[in-house]
Structures are given as structure tokens and as C-alpha cells.
């Protein structure tokens, strides 16, 4: 036991020296992609889809996320020194997510929605990832007021998040990544911009809030007569972005709101769900100048 403790201490000190000498790399290049295998059996893909200048004056990487249920809402991340910040749609406040300069046991407390979340660095070491020894950090997300809230994230230098464990709801472990054009591990041939769709859905626009352009993504399950409209808060149509027949697949439409006033708008998608049934879905977007 004494010998093990001595070796562990030496490893920690060596790791600390390595940390001090070498800056942390948290990849956020356009086109970077991470594919995860999940429990229960499901896949998760995260991708840097672009860069966005947010109202706080900071440039963020646009993070798109795809799972077995389709495209989920975007998030925004930026990396500054040894810290990674994130911002969620509809939020004007960024959250410090990962601080790699902290020591094991250190806690960052932040307000997320209406709950205080403690982000605790719970582990650090050197581990082999994709055949190369790399620095690895583990962060425990603990909600103070929400009993069913808990997450454990593992982050690896130059790779990014490798394990996402949503305690009680399943976990994801990385199977491959594409970083700065280089492939690590095993990547499946996933194309999220075309191909057959498994259902219809309307995703939240990104960025949101936006100025003056934003992108709306939606998915069609069958050949459909599609209409995508923008309304003001009084229900008046102010723009019609799509009004045509479209094949099944995932589509993207950009709205340039130059000339429109700041405020809340509503976008609505109408189309065919198959079997003679129609669908209508609406969401809100915010133009902020």
C-alpha cells in the first residue's frame, strides 16, 4: 500500500509538471466531429457547424448535436486559455464549464436555468487514448435543487469530451473523432445534410438570438409540399422562406432579417407527414440588434 501511494504521488507530480509546461488543447475547429456509442443502444454525434458572434461580443463555435431521435437544439462553446465556456439558446449569460487549471476537488458554482450547479474536478491523470498517452480530466456536475440532475464528463487533451455520463439516464463513450481533418478511432459514414429521414421535425434556429441572419433546419420523412413562414407577434406573415415540393431529408434555410426590427418572431413549418396526414410545427426566434 505504501509503495502504491508513493507511485501515485509521483505520477501526479509528473502530470502536474506536464500540465504546467504544455497548454491544454480543447478542439473547436469548424468541421470537428465526435461520434459516441451510447447505453442504452443509441448513437450521438456532435459537430462544430460554424462560428457565431454572440451579443456579449464573444465569438463561439456552433455545436450541433444529432442523436437517434434527430437533430437537437444547438449550443455554443468558446475556449479561452485553460477554460471552456458554453452558452445555451435563449441565454445571454455564458457558463464556465471546464477549468483545466483547477486542482482535483476544486468546485465552480454557477447558475443554470433556475438551479445552482456545482462543477467539481473529480479526477486527473495521464491515460492512453487512441493509442497515445494524453492528459485526462473528469468533471462532476451536481445540481443543488434538482434531485435527478447529475452528470460526469471526461475530457481528454487535444480530443475533447470522451465520456458523457448522464447519471441515471444513460451514458455515451467516444468511438471516433475528426479533428482538424485527422481521424481518430472509428467514424461511421454519417451525412446529416441529406439522405432519407426517419420522421419530420423542426429544429430551433441557430444562432438564437441572432443578428441579422439565422439558419432554420428541418427534416422531412416523405416527398412533401412544404411551406416555411415567419410571423410577427401579431400573427402577420412577414416572410415566406419556402413554398415548394421537397424530397425527404434534412434541409437548411437561411433567413436574412436585415431591415426587420428587433423582437420576437415565430416560424412555422407546414408539410406532409405521410399516409395522407399533414403536420404543422412552430417555434420562436429572437432578432436582437
pLDDT tens profile 132-154: 999 999 999 988 876 556 889 99
Cell of 268: 412555422
Same domain, 127 and 214: no
What does the pLDDT read at residue 207? 81
What stretches in the chain show pLDDT beneath 50?
1-21, 41, 190-198
Residues 90 and 164 in one domain: yes
* pLDDT confidence of residue 272: 77
247 shares a domain with 210: yes
pTM recorded for the entire structure:
0.59
Regarding whether 158 and 208 lie in a shared domain, the answer is no
Measured CA to CA in angstroms, residue 227 lies from 239, 249, 270 at distances of 11, 15, 5
The reported pLDDT for the residue numbered 42 is: 65
pLDDT in tens, 179-212: 998 999 987 754 444 333 445 778 888 788 888 9
Pick the last residue of a domain from 154, 185, 216.
185
Distances (CA, A) of 40 to 45, 177, 181: 15, 21, 30
Residue 287 and residue 262 in contact, taking contact as beta carbons nearer than 8 Å:
yes
User: Residues 243, 164: one domain?
Assistant: no
For residue 14, the model assigns a pLDDT of 41
172 shares a domain with 275: no
Q: What is the DSSP code string of 233-280?
A: TTS-EEEEEEEEEE-SEEEEEEEE-TTPPSEEEEEEEEEEEETTEEEE
Q: Which domain holds residue 70?
A: 2-185
Same domain, 85 and 136: yes
Q: What is the pLDDT of residue 56?
A: 83
Number of domains in the chain: 2
Q: What is the DSSP letter of 206?
A: B
Q: Is residue 192 part of a domain?
A: no
Quick one: cell of 56?
A: 456579449
Q: For residues 178 and 215, state if they share a domain.
A: no
- H/E stretch holding 7 reads helix 2-21
How far are the Cα atoms of 179, 185, 226, 232, 266 from residue 278, in angstroms, in the given order?
41, 42, 10, 24, 20
Amino acid at each position: 500500500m505504501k509503495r502504491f501511494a508513493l507511485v501515485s504521488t509521483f505520477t501526479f507530480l509528473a502530470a502536474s509538471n506536464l500540465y504546467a509546461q504544455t497548454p491544454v488543447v480543447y478542439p473547436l475547429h469548424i468541421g470537428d466531429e465526435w461520434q459516441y456509442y451510447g447505453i442504452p443502444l443509441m448513437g450521438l454525434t456532435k459537430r462544430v457547424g460554424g462560428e457565431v458572434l454572440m451579443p456579449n461580443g464573444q465569438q463561439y463555435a456552433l455545436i450541433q448535436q444529432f442523436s437517434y431521435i434527430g437533430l437537437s437544439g444547438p449550443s455554443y462553446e468558446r475556449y479561452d486559455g485553460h477554460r471552456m465556456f458554453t452558452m445555451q439558446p435563449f441565454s445571454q449569460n455564458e457558463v464556465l464549464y471546464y477549468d483545466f487549471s483547477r486542482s482535483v476537488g476544486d468546485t465552480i458554482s454557477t447558475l443554470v436555468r433556475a438551479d445552482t450547479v456545482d462543477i467539481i474536478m473529480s479526477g486527473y491523470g495521464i491515460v492512453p487514448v487512441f493509442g497515445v498517452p494524453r492528459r485526462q480530466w473528469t468533471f462532476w456536475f451536481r445540481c443543488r435543487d434538482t434531485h435527478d440532475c447529475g452528470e460526469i464528463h471526461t475530457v481528454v487533451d487535444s480530443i475533447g469530451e470522451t465520456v458523457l455520463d448522464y447519471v441515471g439516464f444513460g451514458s455515451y463513450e467516444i468511438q471516433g473523432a475528426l479533428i482538424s481533418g485527422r481521424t481518430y478511432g472509428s467514424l461511421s459514414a454519417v451525412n446529416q445534410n441529406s439522405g432519407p429521414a426517419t420522421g419530420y421535425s423542426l429544429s430551433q434556429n441557430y444562432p438564437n438570438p441572432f443578428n441579422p441572419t439565422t439558419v432554420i433546419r428541418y427534416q422531412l420523412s416523405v416527398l412533401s409540399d412544404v411551406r416555411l413562414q415567419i410571423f410577427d407577434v401579431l400573427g402577420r406573415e412577414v416572410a415566406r422562406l419556402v413554398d415548394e415540393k421537397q424530397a425527404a431529408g434534412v434541409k437548411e434555410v437561411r433567413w436574412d432579417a436585415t431591415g426587420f426590427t428587433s423582437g420576437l418572431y415565430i416560424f412555422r413549418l407546414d408539410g406532409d407527414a405521410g399516409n395522407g396526414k399533414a403536420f404543422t410545427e412552430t417555434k420562436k426566434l429572437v432578432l436582437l440588434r
